[in-house]
Amino acid sequence: MDIILKYFGDFTPLQLEQLTALDAAYREWNEQINVISRKDIDSLYEKHVLHSLSIAAVADFTENSQVLDLGTGGGFPGIPLAIFFPDVQFHLVDSIGKKIKVVQAVAEALELKNVTTAHMRAEEIKNRQFDVVVSRAVAPLADLWKWSRPLLRKTNKLSPEGEPAPNGLICLKGGDLTQEISESGVRPSLVEIKSLFEEEYFAEKFVVTVRR
């Protein structure tokens, strides 16, 4: 938990309570359904929570925005972002039912009112659009963009400054992305997470943004 406070402040008492409760919630459920590797559970806050919040370090979601977490797995980046942005609505989906069961249970344990979940693939989402799609190392960028683009609104709500807030896909990726970007046909912006957080774990990890 200290590693989160190292980089982020101004949390409300409720947010601090929710962030603290993540550890026990994930440990309890991980004993039943393995959504985080056994060796990583002790590094939950660094490798999962802080990694997820690297999106919050580079993007500011506007109030009442609708955000889709595509292939949420164990709830990352969606659960930490939902704690960080309590006035933003998050919809977390995954094609694996047991993972969504854990995500739903964690969201309920933390009393996250701004989280909904669904056991489905992105291609199965109908008659609904979002301001932003987030994802963490789920698939190649080309596929993520193919799935995300039809689900993104063409225009976003106004930012607090009154300017249209850009919408699009924000995903977390690692390694050499040269070929993956080339094959995607899009021109994303990249932020090295190591420039945000000094821990060695974040070397060669990036926040990748594709604007709509």
Catalogue all structural domains in the chain, each as residue range(s) with its CATH number. 2-211 (3.40.50.150)
Residue partners of 8: CB distance under 8 A and separation at least 6: 53, 56, 84
Give the C-alpha separation, 127 to 171, whole Å: 23
Is residue 162 over pLDDT 60? no
Phi and psi dihedrals of 89, rounded to 5?
A: -95, 130
Gyration radius of the chain over CA positions = 16
In this predicted model, what pLDDT tens digit does every residue of 79-108 receive, in sequence order?
999 999 999 999 999 999 999 999 999 999
User: pLDDT tier at 39 (50, 70, 90 boundaries)?
Assistant: confident
- Residue 124 DSSP label: G
Q: What is the mean pLDDT of residues 151-180?
A: 79
Q: What is the pLDDT of residue 155?
A: 67
Is residue 158 over pLDDT 60? no
Q: What is the pLDDT of residue 36?
A: 84
Is residue 153 over pLDDT 80? yes
153 marked ligand binding residue: no
Amino acid at the residue 195: S
pTM over 0.75: yes
CA neighbor of 108 nearest in space, from 18, 12, 15, 1? 18
57 marked ligand binding residue: no
74 neighbors 102 (Cβ within 8 angstroms): yes
User: pLDDT tier at 156 (50, 70, 90 boundaries)?
Assistant: low
In this predicted model, what pLDDT tens digit does every residue of 42-87 receive, in sequence order?
899 999 999 999 999 999 898 999 999 999 999 999 999 999 999 9
Strand intervals (E) in the chain: 66-70, 89-94, 115-119, 132-136, 168-174, 189-192, 205-211
CA neighbor of 105 nearest in space, from 45, 24, 42? 24
CA neighbor of 190 nearest in space, from 168, 164, 171, 166? 171
Instruction: Report the alpha-carbon angle 156-162-164, nearest 5.
Output: 25
Q: What is the pLDDT of residue 192?
A: 97
User: pLDDT tier at 32 (50, 70, 90 boundaries)?
Assistant: confident
Q: What is the pLDDT of residue 33?
A: 81
Strand partners, 91: 68, 116
Give the C-alpha separation, 100 to 155, whole Å: 29
In this predicted model, what pLDDT tens digit does every residue of 111-152 receive, in sequence order?
999 999 999 998 899 889 999 999 997 899 999 999 999 999
Is residue 164 over pLDDT 60? no
163 marked ligand binding residue: no
76 marked ligand binding residue: yes
